[in-house]
Amino acid sequence: MKPEVESTHQDQVQFGSKTITYSVERSKRTSLGISVNPDASVSVVAPYDASLVLIREKVLKRADWIIKQQLDFVEMEKPVARYNYTSGESHWYLGKQYRLKFIESDKVSITREDRYLKIAGTRDPEQAKAVLTEWYRDRAKEKIEVIISTWWPRMGGSEQIPSTSIRKLEKRWGSCTAKGQLIFNEDLIKAPSQCVEYVVVHELCHLFEHNHGPKFVSLLTRHIPDWEDRKRRLEMLSL
């Protein structure tokens, strides 16, 4: 008797100038399935009797879709801005620009007032960066928790709210781990509210559909019909 699944092996096909590398896993299923994972890797689950020739033909047939999904994951990466943390420098918060203003004080703190982010108690760029980073992380946590508490029940989620964390991600706005933990970039709070909502709902959808296949796109479109516009806005930002 064959096991439910067999160990995977790697294969690849050439599509124009693009090489598509994918893993192949054999199983008892009767149809062949192709998925693009969050790390842009490609997985194929195929019946035991599917030949490598047939698998390659199927992958080539879906090549346009595969490449588009891989690009979608890459496009979720965030552009990185460079800051000096000096007086008058512009920083973003929820899609609006605020200027840094340093004020004298015995206590290090930060407040948002008018169109200024006022940093008190220090003029040292490294300390100012640390204070601002902590402030962004706290604001991101508050904003994202509100969005999740609103959307998770609406999406038919369980009573247990998904586990989330806010941290520095060098290249991505958010991710969903294999264990279902949602991770969001602390810099996401710099983007407009609609873009923040898009990223959060995008990751919530991954708790139902783990890849970027048609079911995922359908689910995201159902909840955020204008997600492509929001995504484009996010891609144009350099925060």
Task: Please tell me the predicted confidence (pLDDT) of residue 28.
Answer: 83
* CA 34 from centroid of its chain's CA atoms: 21
Query: Containing H/E element for 204?
Result: helix 193-205
Question: Is the model's pLDDT at 2 over the cut of 80?
Answer: no
Residues 185, 187, 192, CA angle at the centre, nearest 5°? 110
Which CATH fold would you assign to the domain 90-236? Zincin-like (3.30.2010)
SS3 214: helix
Region 213-222: what's the mean pLDDT? 90
Task: Please tell me the predicted confidence (pLDDT) of residue 74.
Answer: 57
Encode pLDDT of 56-109 as tens digits: 999 999 998 888 777 666 555 555 568 899 999 999 999 999 999 999 999 999
Task: Give the rounded percent of residues in the chain with a pLDDT score beyond 70.
Answer: 91
- Give the residue extent of every domain in the chain: 9-75, 90-236
Task: Please tell me the predicted confidence (pLDDT) of residue 78.
Answer: 54
- For residues 126-148, b (16+ Cβ closer than 10 Å) or e, as one string? eebeebbeebbbebbbebbeebb
Question: Is the model's pLDDT at 196 over the cut of 50?
Answer: yes
Q: Rounded to the nearest 5°, which phi and psi values hold at 72? A: -60, -40
Among 49-58, 70-79, 202-211, whose mean pLDDT is lowest?
A: 70-79
- Residue 1's pLDDT band (cuts 50, 70, 90): very low
| Average pLDDT taken over every residue of the chain | 88
Q: Between the ranges 118-122, 158-162, 211-215, where is the mean pLDDT highest? A: 118-122
CA–CA distance from 155 to each of 76, 173, 180, 203, 212 (Å)? 22, 21, 16, 12, 17
Region 211-223: what's the mean pLDDT? 89
Among 10-19, 105-114, 216-225, whose mean pLDDT is lowest?
A: 10-19
Task: Please tell me the predicted confidence (pLDDT) of residue 80.
Answer: 57
Task: Give CA–CA dist 75/69, Å, rounded.
Answer: 10
pTM of the model: 0.67
Q: Please check whether residue 99 is in contact with residue 88, taking contact to mean a CB–CB distance below 8 angstroms.
A: yes
More confident residue, 29 or 202: 202
